[in-house]
Amino acid sequence: MSPVASSSAGRAGGGGPRLSVRGLKKRFGPTQALGGVDLEVRAGEVHALVGENGAGKSTLLKALAGVHAPDEGEMRLEGVRHAPRDPAAARAAGLAIIHQELALAPHLTIAENLFLGREPRRGLLVDRRAMAERARAALATVGREQLDPQRLVATLPPADRQLVEIARALAQDVRVLVLDEPTSSLTQQDVDPLLQRLRALAASGVAVVYVSHVFEELFAVADRYTVLRDGRTVTSGAMSDIDHDGLVAAMVGREIGDMYRRSDVVPGLPRDEVLAIEDVSGRALPIGASLSLRRGEVLGLAGLVGAGRTELLRCVFGLDEVRSGRVRIAGLERVGTPRERVGTPRASWAAGVGMLSEDRKHEGLMLQRSLADNLWLPCLSRRARGGFVSSRGLERDAVAWLERLGVKARGPGQAARELSGGNQQKVALARLLAAECDVLLLDEPTRGVDVGAKAELYARIDELAHRDGRAVLVVSSYLPELLGLCDRVAVVSRGRLLPPRPIAGLGEHALLTAMTTGVFAGGAA
């Protein structure tokens, strides 16, 4: 590893690395979570930490934060041994971690959140004026000085909450700032300003560790990278010396030939229309959406977060109220006005429509229940004899579905929370298969899923549509995914659904323009 000329190498005062980790090991019972991790982060750089789910990134972050004490190895912060007893100690040493799930109190104001636990005081009371002033200064460090410090955090959009959290970290003396998937709840629009902020922060001398699955961001923001695989550091170096494929190969330990797969439809499959949405409007979103979905196709819904993509799926599925319009689902008996026949998720499952939620942890799965419980929940009534089900039978029959989707688990009785994100998502998808759904509504199916698992999910979705002849409607914020996976893509812009277009001739640029402006710029009809 030769020293790399990063854009801010000159500011890395003190000679040695800001943060260094050597030979870190940590074992949980039978699993070796970390088996020798080395990491070196310099002052003034953005350092990309990458690895598949289960590679040991979160364990490493927890060791840095003082949540877990490592079994072996050494961590040094500015040359001083770093062995925090708890997160507060790590924070006091100058290491701040911003987690994927935001840790703000929604019912407090921005200012109160920024100074929670160390409010400026006047006697026994909080000095509100001083707090507001300092809050404004703190917000300025993340370029959001126009936000009102007295605003409740609950009213902020996700992007601003993310920035408030970063501002909170910066309001104290921070030497190393670690961001764990900071953009997972942000739209493309919000990502770029955040990355610029991080570059500016690094330039001011902070060492930034950036954990993400989104390679485009890593290449845009990071100076150097470290790749973890199976609990070990496998390689590290300068971002300029590696490309996308090289990074993927290092993470996966093998070449992923083609992430995406779009087979031709098996000849002879019926291609009848299974879902027709006619002029559907919801409570606020969507507005007058019309769409037709056939067997054997994957139809993508692109759009900014908040444009109404998720709401459209929820209206179709019966989770959100349909105010006007019609949703028709294949088969005579399933035709009806939305309120009557398609009005509840229960009726949707019965009609062969299944939905995968974007919120895996709260809506997608019952985390503390077993995989079998999660898998069979929609079809318990169907499987029951006289109102009773056999739990042994459920577990036995779950095995085949879990295997079919390649879920890595001890068995169908294991609790869902013990699985990695990718495997959890496969369980949630398996549920739609076990329920024998013809129409699959997938909301952000690969969110928080690592590269290897993503490729598998893509392959499964491709099979389902093009080989088994099911119809798939997929919402995604990740445009390459939509372009690689779908046959047609429809854009949702501010609640309005533009007519779907075949994928041929569509590019990211055209989609992005349509998402933001609501019209396709020129191009094919």
- DSSP of 305-356: TTSSHHHHHHHHHTSS-EEEEEEEESSGGG-S-HHHHSSSHHHHHHTTEEEE
Binding mask 361-390 for another protein (x = CB under 8 A): -xxxxxxxx---xx--xx-xx--x--xxxx
Query: What distance in Å separates the CA atoms of residue 493 and residue 4, rounded to the nearest whole number?
Result: 43
Number of chain positions touching another protein (CB under 8 A): 36
| 512 backbone φψ class: left, alpha, beta (φ>0; ψ -120 to 50) | alpha
Q: Which residue has the tokens 């026949």?
A: 341
Closer to another protein by Cβ: residue 130 or 389: 389
Min CB(110)–another protein separation in Å? 28
Percent of residues in the chain assigned helix, strand, coil, to nearest 5 = 35, 25, 40
Min CB(381)–another protein separation in Å? 5
* 327 interacts with another protein by CB under 8 A: no
User: Which is it for strands 471-475 and 439-443: parallel, antiparallel or unpaired?
Assistant: parallel
Q: Is the peptide bond before 286 cis (omega within 30 degrees of 0)?
A: yes
* 391 interacts with another protein by CB under 8 A: yes
* 359 interacts with another protein by CB under 8 A: yes
Query: What distance in Å separates the CA atoms of residue 137 and residue 156, rounded to the nearest whole number?
Result: 18
Query: What distance in Å separates the CA atoms of residue 517 and residue 523, rounded to the nearest whole number?
Result: 15
- The full length of the chain comes to 525
Min CB(147)–another protein separation in Å? 30
Closer to another protein by Cβ: residue 208 or 347: 347
Which span sits near another protein by CB under 8 A: 9-17, 98-106, 146-154, 348-356?
A: 348-356
Buried b (16+ CB within 10 A) or exposed e, 345-381: bebbbbbbbbbbbbebeeebbeeeebbbbbbbebbee
* 357 interacts with another protein by CB under 8 A: yes
Query: What distance in Å separates the CA atoms of residue 154 and residue 105, rounded to the nearest whole number?
Result: 8
**Judged by CB under 8 A, which of 344, 400, 521, 523 binds another protein?**
344
Please name the residues in contact with 169: beta carbons below 8 A apart, sequence gap of 6 or more.
96, 98, 177
* 31 interacts with another protein by CB under 8 A: no
Min CB(18)–another protein separation in Å? 33
Which span sits near another protein by CB under 8 A: 182-190, 235-243, 254-262, 347-355?
A: 347-355
Min CB(475)–another protein separation in Å? 15
Which span sits near another protein by CB under 8 A: 38-46, 170-178, 339-347, 477-485?
A: 339-347
**Judged by CB under 8 A, which of 215, 349, 401, 458 binds another protein?**
349
CB 492 within 8 A of CB 307: yes
Binding mask 424-463 for another protein (x = CB under 8 A): -------x--------------------------------
Which span sits near another protein by CB under 8 A: 129-137, 284-292, 351-359, 448-456?
A: 351-359
The footprint of another protein (CB under 8 A) covers 319, 344-350, 355, 357, 359, 362-369, 373-374, 377-378, 380-381, 384, 387-392, 413, 417-418, 431
